[in-house]
Structure 1
Amino acid sequence: MESPTLTENRPYTVPPFAKECLEAAGEAWHAAHDHAFVQALADGSLDSDRFRFYQMQDARYLEAFADATSIISTRCTDPDDKLWFIEAAQMAVVVEQELHAGYGEELGYDADDVAQLELTPNNRAYQNHMIASAHTGSLVEAVAAITPCPWLYVDLGQQLEAEMGEVPESHPYAEWLEMYRDPAFNEYMDHLLERLHRFAVAADPAARERAKELFVLSVRYEWMFWDQSWTKQEWPV
C-alpha cells in the first residue's frame, strides 16, 4: 500500500495549524499507514487472533479517548465547543463500541472480557498521554493529543477506499473498512480540525509548539498500537 502525500486534497478542510501538525508528524504518519498490520488488515490476510487482540485493546483505548474528550468539554467556555466534545465522547463509547460488540460475538469475547483485559504497555502509555494532556495542557495541547486517532483512521479509510474500491462482502474485515470510509466522518474532521486551529490561534507560541509535539507523540503511539497488535505485545516482566 502506497501512503498518501501530506499535501493531497482531502474531502474536509485542513486549516493552517492542522497542516503544521501533520507536517511535523510526516514520517510517523506515513509509517502508521504502511505498517504490516494495516496492510494485512486491508488485503484480508490478517489472522483473526491478531485482529481480536487489536479489537479488545482498542475497546479499552476508546474508553480513555472518551474520558479525554469529556475532560476537554469541561474546559471549553463556548457552549457549542462544550457540546461538540461531549458528543465526541459519546461517539467513542456508543457508535464505535457497536463495531466491537459485533466482532466480539464473532471472535469470542464480550464486555466482561474487555473490562478484565490487561492493558499493554503501549496502550497504557497512550491513554496516560491523552488524559494528562487533557488535564494539564492548554486547550490546544489537549486537542492536539486526541486529534491523530480519528484523523489517521479517517485518512486511512479513505485511502483504502481509493485503492480498493468497493469492499467485497467476503472480506473478513469488511465492516471495519466500511466504517472508516463513511462520509459522515468528513464533517467530524471539519469540526475537530477547526477547533484545533482556533484554539491554536488563541494560544501563545510556546503552547502551539508543545501542541505540535503532543500531536507527533500521539501519531507515534498510533503506529505503536498497530505494532503491539501485530506482535501481541506482553509486559516483559
Structure 2
Amino acid sequence: MNVSDLITANQSLWQEYTQHRFVRQLGDGTLPDSAFRHYLIQDYLFLKHFARAYALAIYKCDSFSAMQRPLTALTGLLEHETSLHVAYCQEWGISEQDLENIEEDSGTVAYTRLVLDIGQSGSLTELYVALAPCALGYAEIGAWLPKQSFTARANNPYIAWIDMYAGETFQQLAVDETRSLDEMMKEISADSQQGRKLNRIFRDATRMEIAFWEQGLNKQ
C-alpha cells in the first residue's frame, strides 16, 4: 500500500479537511481575525507535541541511518520552524509570552495526544502515518488554493500563509515525506490487518485536522 491508498480510502474526510470552510476563508481573505489568531496560538502548542513525536520516532529507529530522517525533521522544527512561527505570530500581535501562557484547546489536546499515544504504543510506520495528514494536507492546501477563482491576493491578510505552503520548500517536503512513507508501507497489503490499522490511524488523524479548523472557527 501507499499514501495514495490512504487518501483514496478516506477521500470524503480528506476533502473536508483540505477544502474546509476555514481554508476557503483563508483563500478569499474573509476569515475573522479572531479565528486565525486562535489557530496560530494552538498551532504553536501543536508544534511542541510534534517535536516530541519526532523524538519518539528517533527512539523507535533501530539504526543510525534510520534516525537521520526524524532527527533532521526535529532539528528543522526546533531551530527554524518554531522561530518562524513565533515571528509570524508577532506580526499578528501575539507575543511569545502569549503563546506560552494560553492553554491548549480541546481539539489540540485530542489531536496531539492521539499522535503521541500512537508514537508510544505503535510501530514507527504507524507513527509516521499519524503525522502524515499534517504535512501532506497542508501541501495539498498550498497547491489547491492559488488555483481557485475565489482566492484573492490583493488585500488578503492571509496571503503570506498561503504562499508559505504553496512554496517550493514545503511542496518538496511533502514529496519527500510521501516517498519515504510509501517505502515504509510497500510490503503491507491494504486489506491486511496492518493495512486496515494504518488506514484507521490516517482516518483518525484527518478527523483531528478537521477538528483543528473547527476550533478556530468556534473562536470567532
Q: TM-score, normalised by structure 1?
A: 0.83
Distance 2:8 2:151 in 1: 30
| Partners of 1:141 and 1:208 within 8 A in 2 | no
**Which of 184, 209, 218 in structure 1 is aligned with 2:205?**
218
- CA drift of 1:201 comes to 3.4
Q: How does 1:63-78 map to 2 (within 5 A)?
A: 63-78=48-63
Deviation at 1:143, TM superposition (A): 0.8
Q: Tell me which amino acid in the other structure corresponds to 1:228.
A: Q
Deviation at 1:203, TM superposition (A): 5.6
Paired positions, count: 218
Task: Indicate the residue corresponding to 1:58 in structure 2.
Answer: 43
Judged with a 3 Å threshold, the aligned counterparts in structure 2 of structure 1 residues 182 and 95 are, in CA distance, closer, same or farther, namely farther
Q: 1:79 to 1:161 in 2, by over 3 A?
A: farther
Which residue in 1 is equivalent to 2:216?
229
Distance 1:50 1:94, change over 3 A: farther
Matched letter for residue 224 of structure 1: A
Q: Which amino acid aligns with 1:186?
A: Q
Change (3 A) 1:226 1:87: same
Give the conservation status (yes or no) of the 8 Å contact 2:107–2:211. yes
Return closer, same or farther for 1:197/1:184 CA change in 2, 3 Å cut-off: same
Q: Give the number of the structure with larger relative contact order, counting CA–CA contacts within 8 Å between residues 6 or more apart.
A: 2
Q: Could you say if the C-alpha distance between residues 201 and 178 of structure 1 is closer, same or farther in structure 2, counting changes exceeding 3 Å?
A: same
Percent identical among aligned pairs is 25
Following superposition, the deviation at residue 167 of structure 1 comes to 6.8
Segment of structure 1 superposing worse, 163-172 or 98-107: 163-172
Instruction: For structure 2, list consecutive stretches of 5 or more residues without a partner in the other structure.
Output: none
User: Which aligned runs of 4 or more in structure 1 are off by greater than 6 angstroms?
Assistant: none
Q: What is the DSSP-based 3-state SS (H/G/I as helix, E as strand, rest coil) of the residue aligned with 2:31?
A: coil
Q: Find the partner of 1:108 among 73, 93, 96.
A: 93
Query: Is 1:167–1:177's contact at 8 Å kept on the other side of the alignment?
Result: no
Query: Matched residues in 1 for 2:152 and 2:48: separation?
Result: 28
Name the CA distance, whole Å, in 1 between partners of 2:143 and 2:66. 26
**Alignment-derived partner of residue 170 in structure 1:** 155
Q: How far apart, in 1, do the equivalents of 2:163 and 2:83 lie?
A: 14
Kindly state the Cα deviation for residue 89 of structure 1 after the two structures are TM-superposed: 2.0
Q: Which amino acid aligns with 1:48?
A: D
Are 2:87 and 1:126 aligned? no
How many angstroms does 1:102 deviate by?
Answer: 2.9
1:170 match: secondary structure: coil
Q: Of 207, 219, 227, which residue of structure 1 is paired with 2:194?
A: 207
For 1:105 and 1:169, locate their aligned partners in 2 and report how far apart those are by CA, in whole Å. Answer: 22
Q: TM-score, normalised by structure 2?
A: 0.89
Deviation at 1:202, TM superposition (A): 5.0
Output the amino acid matched with 1:212. Answer: N
Q: CA RMSD in A?
A: 2.3
- 2:68 aligned residue: 83
Q: Deviations over 1:160-205 (max 9, x none)?
A: 1222699736321121111101112233223222222222235683
> What's the CA shift string for 1:28-77, capped at 9, x where partnerless?
11111232211111111112111100000000001111111221122123
For 1:30 and 1:50, the matched residues in 2 are separated by 21
CA distance in 2, matches of 1:161, 1:96: 23
- Larger mean CA deviation between 160-169 and 120-129 belongs to 160-169
